[in-house]
Amino acid sequence: MAGVFQVDREIFDNRIWQNPAEFRLFFYVLGNAVWSEEGVKYGDILIQRGQYLRSYRNLREDLMYTKNNAFKYYSLSHIKKIIDKLVADGRLEKEETDLGTLFTVVNYCKYQGFDRFENVDQEQIKNGERTEREQNKNNNKKDKKVNNIYIAFDSYSDNADLRQALRDYSIMRNKIKAPLTERAVTLLLNKLDTLASTEDLKIKLLENATLSNWKSVYPLKEEKQQDKPKQGKPNKFHNFMQSDEIDLEALAEKRRQERRKG
């Protein structure tokens, strides 16, 4: 028998999936049931949509399987037991005829219909539209927030370089997952005013913070103080201090006085 039929993926979450023999038998009947709305005439029996005519012995042959390189068959009693369970579970209905057992798949039209999938598709479309609206709403909030921050930057100074330094700093904060809030912008601008009295210095502070991925601006390190002049060491002769400049006249006078005393 050629053709196709539908199987819902929910079957994998169903208890029947845990019982191989039960699943195989039900799946076999479902897959071979008549699809046509008009049904199929077989002898004196009209096999309607969702029905399958088959004897137990033929089902036994149909469900043959191999194990350890040998053909295996379910016993007729086991097949009858599985069918009775499927009937009790409300999955199948059965009717005995002269040509075999007429099985009816309960809710076959539900299994093979497209209405429930269309409903799912419509719901998915609605969910997608709702998600898109929410995303657009969130994006609008983000755009408005960014615009407010840039307006604050532009209002802070007419210096194009300083405004660009502020924007670069804001972009860096976004990259490190610590975006500026409007409150944080106010604190940042106030801190710049405290640390720097010129716009050139503010630019340097911002550039330094941007390059260092800092969440705030900090004072620049002061340049090292120039080395202080070395103090002269006491001279072991005459207790004079060494220095770059020596009073030669005083030194000569000191020596003359020492010679007179000698």
Q: Output the six-digit token pair for 207.
A: 């550039």
Sign of CA dihedral 118, 121, 127, 131: negative
pLDDT at position 225 is 44
Residue 250 DSSP SS3: helix
Sign of CA dihedral 117, 120, 121, 122: positive
pLDDT at position 145 is 64
Q: Comparing C-alpha atoms, which of 34, 13, 16 is closest to residue 82?
A: 16
Q: Comparing C-alpha atoms, which of 80, 45, 46 is closest to residue 60?
A: 80
The helix or strand, by DSSP H or E, that contains position 72, with its residue range, turns out to be: strand 70-72
pLDDT at position 214 is 94
Domain 9-107 in CATH 1.25.40? The answer is no
The answer to whether 47 and 34 are in contact (CB under 8 A) is yes
pLDDT at position 37 is 84
pLDDT along the chain (262 residues), means of 10: 65 83 92 88 89 94 92 94 94 92 88 58 62 60 70 90 93 92 92 94 94 93 51 51 57 73 65
pLDDT at position 16 is 85
Sign of CA dihedral 96, 110, 58, 53: positive
pLDDT at position 139 is 55
| DSSP string across 126-179 | HHHHHHHHHHHHHHHHHHHHHHHHHHHHHHH-S-HHHHHHHHHHHHHHHHTT-P
